[in-house]
Amino acid sequence: MTRITSETPVRRETAAQYRGTPIVVELHAGYLVVSRKGHQDKAMIDYAAIYEVAWKMKAREDRERR
């Protein structure tokens, strides 16, 4: 596993696309940055926020299965 530090963020182009343009993800120590390849618009999100949303989605799915 790669440890992400504040000095060495990891930047990857994903296979996912938005309106035909690949999505680029930059992993930083405390947050990630999402953007479209070749565009300047960027969005940052904290890992804790992602974790919370993931658990809320899982809880919703569990409720719907019942």
Q: Quick: pLDDT tens for 14-61.
A: 999 999 999 999 999 999 999 999 999 999 999 999 999 999 999 999
Residues 6+ apart with CB under 8 A from 1: none
Evaluate whether 56 touches 33 at the Cβ level (below 8 Å): no
pTM for the full model? 0.76
Nearest to 35 by CA among 23, 53, 52, 44: 23
Q: What is the pLDDT at residue 7? A: 84
Domain-wise residue ranges, the chain: 10-65
